[in-house]
Structure 1
């Protein structure tokens, strides 16, 4: 009886094995390329990722994005492809696309700090500050020593004009990494907004001390902010030096930094009752940035110039010309 059962089991096993072979071989006979594609797919994905990464690092962002999209078409759950496509999208300033890519990456790896930070930065660039704050706070929850999240959280608070909270976030960031000059620049700006101008100047000087090249090659922001702090401290001669440095650096350009410099010089000269110099500086500022006319009447530092018997009338004429609609 045992032998009969054993033979029956063997027969059933052989039949099952034969059926399995038929099932496995049927697609191959019908479409032999399907198995070949299945076997070569991992290599294809790996090669596409490698090629796309090289394009990303070389600065060919559009080419990289195209490559990552091909990877995603083969593997929609490729964190690598979604995340790096987000990075490439940031590089070409396509914040909507970056947000979509980083969101996909976060869905695949919810606790990946780089992906969360990338999405937070995309939200920040799109002025979706509450969403950005949530992502940066999530990063800090996952890693309290994650410098970038503290720094970016400070920037979010700054945009929301909560400068005290911004300062707290920047100070946390400074405890983790005190080297980046942009950190001290932003701390200086926050202190300036809080009216702590002497402290602000110290931070601007620290930023330049940490990286003197920053002062040489990208000076405008820090010089303008330091000049403003000096102006508010009524250190007019030194403030004038910084605004003149900006004008000299941009002498062959017409840009907003020139307009800002001329406007602040107009304020400095007005406070010193140097009426002609104040008016000429204001005029040059408005020629570059006519929208600054909206601030002139309400700016206390220009009050003396506006109320001047001669130059007050000239300003009225100047502002009137700016407000006239252009004839096409």
Structure 2
């Protein structure tokens, strides 16, 4: 039983708290103690729950339910051996008590012995009246073991017993998603909705499945039904906005996102998406306004700072773009895309040392695209570091052997270093691979291009 502020059910709670303040010991029956403990645990007030358990057991030392609460606290505080010992004592007294099995399974689960937890929970099925709860617990243990098919089946069994268990519904859909069984999920959800046509959660999940298979028309219909079932369902409006964007109905998407902002506290996601919609509509002023609103709402959302960066980058306002890309990198220092954008912006501003640092960081983080190697090597050449440029291009050629753009650059660099044999080797490779890229030598290495040997090899 839950205590509330407005009814007489909270009298035992008031009496109990009064007793704690005055130190006058008052009597409660065991059921009252159970309700008090349950209330405190739900409120996350563990210290008060422990006091209630202690006083309860002093007044009712044989109460199995109060001792089970003590077990629950032991498990919560990771005193698993103590919990196990007390459970074994309780099992001797009441071997058909389902809660003993549930807590025993909880201990196994805490020890990562999930298969044992499943075995114990299956025994609990023989004694329980709440069979759906046990099915759900078994499903969770299978999830811990990454046994998604088994987990899915138990969540289905749970929903057969209790169609209102939306937690089991979410978990089941998670299994479908992990197993990439979108069509199966759609079939299940449609059957589920035949019996519960106004279940907004099921419509919402159905819409997400249609979205995953890119059937945007059906996804939109599903989210509309979710909204009809519950017109304050913020998640449905957000998902509907995403679908409308895919259908290029940007004004409708803005309307859907705007409704979500009116129903709940503003979310940075909705503000950012509205900004992107205005950008698609060519309304740059409103787009950047919403990008700024996004980072005002959530200053740690790097995607917001990146949106502003790209906006100014597109407008060729590179100074502002650089300012905002630094904001994004400060939030997520391991994002390859950010470092590459940082390098490109610095390169446009002719800040070559910083541009080189950005490309180097992108390579260190695993961005091995050929254009990253080429951009960094060309900058090293401009900075007067031919040895570093050669090393960079040699590394690149391990990933892209016989790439003409790399071979021409290596040839030019080796000729610059007066290593004629190596230069000739790479130039021959380059010409053999793609003679049309010969202009690289003329543009990047004009002095090398004038050499008689080079001209001969190019012909």
Q: Is the radius of gyration larger for structure 1 or structure 2?
A: 2
**TM-score band w.r.t. shorter chain:** 0.5 to 0.7
**How far did residue 128 of structure 1 move?**
2.4
Aligned: 1:291 with 2:336: yes
Cα distance change on mapping 1:250 and 1:156 into 2, 3 Å? same
Preserved CA contact (<8 Å) 2:136 2:158: no
Aligned: 1:245 with 2:293: yes
Aligned to 2:123: 73
- Alignment deviations for residues 118-150 of structure 1 (CA, whole Å, 9 cap, x no partner): 453222552524243232222123333332211
**How far did residue 277 of structure 1 move?**
1.1
**How far did residue 220 of structure 1 move?**
2.1
Aligned: 1:269 with 2:312: yes
Aligned to 2:324: 281
Cα distance change on mapping 1:133 and 1:95 into 2, 3 Å? farther
Aligned to 2:52: none
Matches within 5 A, 1:108-127: 110=160, 112-114=162-164, 117-118=169-170, 120-126=172-178
1:226 to 267, 274, 285: 274
Preserved CA contact (<8 Å) 1:85 1:98: no
In 2, Cα distance between equivalents of 1:309 and 1:210: 43
Preserved CA contact (<8 Å) 2:294 2:304: yes
Aligned: 1:174 with 2:227: yes
Cα distance change on mapping 1:207 and 1:107 into 2, 3 Å? closer
Q: Secondary structure at the match of 2:231?
A: coil
Aligned to 1:132: 185
Aligned to 2:240: 187
Cα distance change on mapping 1:127 and 1:103 into 2, 3 Å? closer
Preserved CA contact (<8 Å) 1:68 1:81: no
Larger relative contact order, structure 1 or 2 (CA cutoff 8 Å, min sep 6): 1
Aligned to 1:104: 154
Preserved CA contact (<8 Å) 1:83 1:102: no
In 1, Cα distance between equivalents of 2:188 and 2:359: 48
Cα distance change on mapping 1:119 and 1:293 into 2, 3 Å? closer
In 2, Cα distance between equivalents of 1:225 and 1:95: 37
**How far did residue 264 of structure 1 move?**
1.0
Cα distance change on mapping 1:209 and 1:237 into 2, 3 Å? same
In 2, Cα distance between equivalents of 1:109 and 1:229: 39
CA RMSD in angstroms, aligned pairs only: 4.3
Cα distance change on mapping 1:249 and 1:170 into 2, 3 Å? closer
**How far did residue 311 of structure 1 move?**
5.9
Aligned: 1:141 with 2:141: no
How many aligned positions are there?
A: 261
Aligned: 1:324 with 2:363: yes
Cα distance change on mapping 1:314 and 1:129 into 2, 3 Å? farther
Aligned to 1:196: 249
Cα distance change on mapping 1:81 and 1:153 into 2, 3 Å? same
In 2, Cα distance between equivalents of 1:111 and 1:134: 19
In 2, Cα distance between equivalents of 1:183 and 1:290: 30
- Alignment deviations for residues 242-262 of structure 1 (CA, whole Å, 9 cap, x no partner): 3333334444x5xxx22x112
Q: Which runs of 5+ in 2 are unaligned?
A: 1-90, 366-459
Preserved CA contact (<8 Å) 2:117 2:141: no
Aligned to 2:416: none
Aligned to 2:8: none
Preserved CA contact (<8 Å) 1:157 1:163: yes
**How far did residue 265 of structure 1 move?**
0.7
In 2, Cα distance between equivalents of 1:184 and 1:295: 34
Preserved CA contact (<8 Å) 1:204 1:226: yes
Cα distance change on mapping 1:167 and 1:272 into 2, 3 Å? same
**How far did residue 280 of structure 1 move?**
3.4
1:156 to 196, 201, 209: 209
TM-score scaled by structure 1? 0.62
**How far did residue 163 of structure 1 move?**
2.3
In 1, Cα distance between equivalents of 2:180 and 2:123: 30
